[in-house]
A and B are shown apart, each in its own frame.
Chain A
Amino acid sequence: MSDVLVPRNIVGSTLAEIAEKDPAVVVLDADFYTCTITEEYKDRFPDRFVEVGIAEQNMMGIAAGLATAGMKPFASALAAFCTRRACDQVTTSIALQNLNVKILGVYPGLFVGKNGGSHQALEDIAITRAIARMSVVQPADAWELMEVLHFAVRHTGPMYIRISREPTPRYIPDNYTFQLGKSSLLRQGTDLTIMTYGELIADTLEAAEFLSFKHGIKARVLNMSSLKPIDTKAALQAARETDCIITVDNHNIIGGLGSAVAEYLSEVHPTRVKRIGVRDVFGRSGSNQEMKRKFGLSAEDIAVQILDYLN
């Protein structure tokens, strides 16, 4: 297997592999399979592939109906549209009924090609996190995504999975098994802890390296792929063992990982939590690098914000 993989590129093949063994798996698409990369699944299981057209709300309702009959639907669309647009359907037809629907949202956060504000999901974690019964996950890399998809088909209950389209090296350790509510260590450190997920892991690690090299600050970095529930054990440990916690969100700082961590720690172990992320503004069109610079999420920006916060 190659050293770098695009997470979304393994969705179709992994779902096909799962569907081979599980006749209950069904994939729903909202005219997006060439972008969710579910074509391989579609070709291999045409009778268990439902194309609803550009109608995410209908897709969620149909997924709910399939799940009532014991099917295991994976409903896939652009992250913004399967959460923002279909929010009520996801809430009342799926979660309120405790139905076993997995929602695959591709292109989460800022990185939606050059599509701009209408397509950027900067609210999707906040929305799905606030829905009772819903689990929320963004895998760090393609390898973790494979694990998450295998986990999802075994897991009973609604789940929202954010899927990146950025090429990524492997971050998860060998023999890794995904568990809800469990983080993984990306970098050892004792001075402070940086928590992130998905697309911004590379920049966060680079920022941590810079802090160490230039300033002698040893930052622990955690992959918080389980966004709900978060790894409360690791958060508490970080709060006890390191001076402060920094969160890096590819999302609005309101309602994202930073909120989840601050909410938890403020109750059990009040700790300084600095939230880095999109600061309650809408996104723009641009290359990933341009976007990171504009919204303060490049490695350099992350490092500067951390240094400012520490001073």
Chain B
Amino acid sequence: MQKEEVERLEQIATELRIQVVKMFEAAGSGHAGGSMSVAEIISVLYFNQMRINPDDPNDPDRDRFVLSKGHSCFTLYAALAKVGILAEDALYHPYEVDSPIQGHPELGICPGIDMGTGALGQGLSAGIGMALAARMQKRDFRVYVVIGDGEANEGMVWEATMLAPKYKLDNLVAILDYNKIALTGPIEETIPLEPVVDKWKAFNWHVLEADGHSVEELLVALEKAKEIKGKPTMIIAHTVKGKGMSLIEGMRNSHAMAKFSHDDATMTIKELMSE
């Protein structure tokens, strides 16, 4: 793996975080924790792994991305703007009624969104549908679904987890953004997810682990997933909620910031740029 590519993707993750902070400032609030923890995952997918076509965001052969933890969508919006699918100006009109930047991603409103999400627990099922469609249409696109650890409380996640191996969906990769904190606090207090690797293994998935903030480890896992035949892959990405934002990083209340000020933005951007 080329050092330059790793550095480039790390740099993009930082740029995505900075962009997200600017969006929080424009919005005055935001789902900060999960948007920060997913930055490297989205950087690696959109800027290295996925086959996308900025000239035709609806290209039927494009790889698909489902951000099942839809509240982290600012990072996705920032990536879509950076690849040239979404007009950058739109990023500065978050949460406005006529803006493509809605609180959660929605099909038909924001270009480049492959599946609308927000009501938690539903994205993995949509990913299964996409992966089945690829097979039925004899296309070779791959499907990537990012789910949250809190989200994994939802029963539907396990319905989908149970079904995907039956159809041997080796074109489906799920990534768990395992930041260990949900809305009210640590998931150890809500519903512990451990032993998380054993759980997905028991459901007949191929399970890999990675440091979700290591571009290199994510790349290794995603490349490995391409070699796995006959079953879907789950990448357990160990992350830190609010990564890179000292205001909230790792804190139990890092899920969302009801108020995000100009000073918060200035300080966080300074921190991110000095990394």
Contact = CB atoms under 8 A, between A and B. Distances in A.
B126 interface: yes
A68 B114 contact: yes
Contacts of B159: 52-53, 55, 57-58
B163 A58 contact: yes
Contacts of A93: 115-116, 119, 122, 125-126
A91 B123 CA distance: 14
Q: Is the interface of A mostly helix, strand, loop or mixed?
A: helix
B230 interface: no
Contact of B115 (A50, A68, A88): A68
Contacts of A97: 106-108, 115-116
Interface string B124-162: 111111111111110000000000000000011001101
Contact of B132 (A60, A62, A88): A62
A172 to B, nearest CB: 33
A48 interface: yes
B132 A50 contact: yes
B163 A92 contact: no
A69 B133 CA distance: 6
Q: Is the interface of B mostly helix, strand, loop or mixed?
A: helix
Contact of A65 (B119, B130, B162): B130
A219 B226 CA distance: 67
B84 interface: no
A67 B106 CA distance: 15
Nearest to B116: A97
Q: Quick one: which of B106, B132, B134 has the most chain A CB within 10 A?
A: B132
Contacts of B135: 47
Given A64-B115, A97-B115, A69 B137 contact: yes
A71 B125 CA distance: 15
Given A57-B159, A61-B156, A69 B129 contact: yes
B125 A58 contact: yes
Contacts of A65: 66, 115, 125-133
Contact of A68 (B129, B155, B167): B129
Given A65-B132, A66-B129, 17 more contacts: A52-B159, A58-B128, A60-B125, A62-B128, A65-B115, A65-B125, A65-B128, A65-B131, A66-B130, A66-B132, A66-B133, A68-B133, A69-B130, A73-B129, A89-B156, A92-B116, A92-B118
Interface of B: 60, 64, 66, 106-108, 114-116, 118-119, 122-137, 155-156, 159-160, 162-163, 167
24 contacts: A47-B136, A55-B156, A57-B159, A58-B125, A58-B128, A62-B128, A62-B129, A64-B126, A65-B66, A65-B127, A65-B129, A65-B132, A68-B64, A69-B60, A69-B129, A70-B137, A73-B129, A88-B119, A89-B122, A91-B119, A92-B116, A93-B119, A97-B115, A97-B116
